Structure 1
Amino acid sequence: MMSSNYHLATTVPFLLLIFILSIQPSSSALVKEQPLILKYHNGTLLKGKIDVNLIWYGKFTPVQRTIILDFILSLQSPSPSPSVNSWWKITEKYKGGAAALVLGKQILNEEYSLGKSLTDKHLISLASKTNGVINSVNIVLTANDVTVGGFCSRCGTHGSVRFKTSRLVYAWVGNSETQCPGQCAWPFHQPIYGPQTAPLVAPNGDVGVDGMVINLATVLAGTITNPFKNGYFQGPVTAPLEAVTACTGVFGSGAYPGYTGEVLVDKETGASYNAHGVNGRKYLLPAMWDPTTSKCFTLV
């Protein structure tokens, strides 16, 4: 039914930049910034209406699910500026056209049908159960008590599997609240290494799920702009820097390793954010590489 030829592209945990975390910028050390280039490898990008199907694996509360659902709805819904929608519009600048992500099917798997320790093969099996293959992205979201092979050295992943007449495009993001928040929920948790500055307050009050939103945004951008490992990326095919992972750790202007950059702060809750979404939601979204400027685009 399907070939075993598939690829994985992962979100880059903040830990991978730790070797330069202790470096602070100084006027004597500043050099002219070199342009960041993600090469287009002439492959197909996803465009048009794309259904985002969600497979909830493990136990999520209704509030946790709503935080993520509202984020996906915000991708195509106008909101006060700066908005999730304006962040997503950067993908329209990539060659191949715009992808309109809409909420598709949802599957609740609260009984842990494959156990609480998953492999990549398990993820593909779960992603294939929605029966959505054409013009869709099937996303497996794992709860905080589910381990996934490579979790913490990667915070999420996306890939594709070829069927006889089509390809399954899928992604996975895990809740890192109890496993590795220092890698995958930064900046809402202190990093394991580097400067131990106070973490930011999560905009929706859930360190694990607000961290998932950052990683979900990362893999969605990578999925659209490099779905079949021949789109936009820099570096080796097996470990590419993609639309968002090329800008790891950047959330606002003036960012440097260990510092998110300038972001907005809610006066009532003290929560940090840089994007408005539907239903009054606020989110902190990572910078995305803009192919028209060859720079990391930030909302603030």
Structure 2
Amino acid sequence: MTVIASRAAEHPNKSTAASSYLLLRLPAWNLRLQRLSNSKSQHNALSDKLLEIIIYFACFIQLSLASRMLSEAVVDQAQPLQYHKGPLLTGKISVNLIWYGNFKPSQRAIISDFVASLTSSADSATKAQSQPSVAAWWKQIEKYYHLSGSKKAPLSLFLGTQLLDDSYSLGKSLTDKKITELASRGQQKDAINVVLTASDVTVDGFCMSRCGSHGSASGTARARRGLSKFAYVWIGDSTSQCPGQCAWPFHQPIYGPQSPPLVAPNNDTLSHSEVNHTDPLFSTRVLRE
């Protein structure tokens, strides 16, 4: 385990599934209509034809509605978080990065820069010139603190310690338990530990049901009431394992409109797709603590 010096720094939806189901069922319905027509030839052929037209017309309407709903979902990607009156993280919180596997220095720099930029600089002139910024996006979280009526110090995130495990100390096939074990290696008090796994590391459920996860676990430090808890986030590298599921919009999705994917600003699909998943996981972890 190597400690790195800190720097001062699915999209398929129900509409898509419905469309795919209807497309697969059309040949079967057509075959059933043919059998119906053969077995009941004494019936009026015009009635059978009319029934076939009605079914195809209904399918066309469903497909059109599904396509329209999917297109609208792509245009509007806003997914506001709902505050459920639970406790929120407050005060100064360090974000510790735990790199599991082999990563390029440039990839580590992109993620660490993103974390460092969550808190705005003290130089207001620089902030004004650099809008929109990550810090401005993150300030949207403050509205939930206003709703909670908390009188505690507001949340302030900063980049903490970075740990590099390029020897795969827990193997290349990880369970949720091993992810939690990796997360526990970071600072546990007033911290969010982010575990990032390399492209040759498989994790239970990765690509099939999730692209990342977040949670909390009991730490080793003692608190007033038993063991303390620490928060963590895990994000996998999907660029080689399942880019169509988890690397969108920097890769064409398996389902939905096949528009050209976005080009990552630094030509590094891995880092930017991980940042893309870090946004919602980070926000949800903070608001659910």
Q: TM-score, normalised by structure 2?
A: 0.67
Kept in 2, the 8 Å contact 1:120–1:149? The answer is yes
Correspondence 1:144-155 to 2 at 5 A: 144-152=199-207, 153-155=209-211
Correspondence 1:35-114 to 2 at 5 A: 39-78=82-121, 79=127, 80-95=130-145, 96=148, 98-114=154-170
1:109 deviates by 0.2
- Tell me the alpha carbon deviations over residues 54-74 of structure 1, each in whole angstroms, 9 at most, x when there is no partner: 110000000000000110111
* Aligned twin of 2:241: 179
Kept in 1, the 8 Å contact 2:81–2:284? The answer is no
Code of the residue aligned with 1:104 in structure 2: it is: G
- Tell me the alpha carbon deviations over residues 13-50 of structure 1, each in whole angstroms, 9 at most, x when there is no partner: 22345437852269xx9xxx9x9885533321101110
- Tell me the alpha carbon deviations over residues 124-144 of structure 1, each in whole angstroms, 9 at most, x when there is no partner: 0001112x1111001100011
* Aligned twin of 1:156: 212
Kept in 2, the 8 Å contact 1:116–1:146? The answer is yes
Kept in 1, the 8 Å contact 2:11–2:255? The answer is no
Structure 2: gaps (5+ residues): 1-9, 20-65, 122-126, 220-225
Q: Work out the percentage of aligned pairs sharing the same amino acid.
A: 50
Is residue 165 of structure 2 the alignment partner of residue 142 of structure 1?
Answer: no
Specify the SS of the correspondent of 1:122: helix
Specify the SS of the correspondent of 2:68: coil
- Tell me the alpha carbon deviations over residues 86-127 of structure 1, each in whole angstroms, 9 at most, x when there is no partner: 000001111356421101111100001111111100000001
Alignment partners' CA distance in 2, 1:72 and 1:206: 17
- Equivalenced residue count is 208
* Aligned twin of 1:168: 230
Code of the residue aligned with 2:17 in structure 1: it is: F
Code of the residue aligned with 1:77 in structure 2: it is: S
Specify the SS of the correspondent of 1:182: helix
* Aligned twin of 1:223: 285
In structure 2, relative to structure 1, the CA distance for the partners of 1:62 and 1:47 (3 Å cut) is: same
Code of the residue aligned with 2:256 in structure 1: it is: G
* Aligned twin of 1:268: none
Alignment partners' CA distance in 2, 1:187 and 1:112: 29
In structure 2, relative to structure 1, the CA distance for the partners of 1:211 and 1:39 (3 Å cut) is: closer
Code of the residue aligned with 1:24 in structure 2: it is: R
* Aligned twin of 1:121: 177
Q: TM-score, normalised by structure 1?
A: 0.64
Alignment partners' CA distance in 1, 2:12 and 2:237: 17
Specify the SS of the correspondent of 1:94: helix
Moved over 4 A (4+): 35-39
Kept in 1, the 8 Å contact 2:190–2:230? The answer is no
Alignment partners' CA distance in 2, 1:87 and 1:216: 13
Q: Which structure exhibits the higher relative contact order, with contacts defined as CA atoms closer than 8 Å and separated by 6 or more residues?
A: 1
In structure 2, relative to structure 1, the CA distance for the partners of 1:127 and 1:25 (3 Å cut) is: closer
- Tell me the alpha carbon deviations over residues 153-202 of structure 1, each in whole angstroms, 9 at most, x when there is no partner: 21111101134331021110111100111111101100012221111111
1:216 deviates by 1.0
Alignment partners' CA distance in 1, 2:12 and 2:155: 31
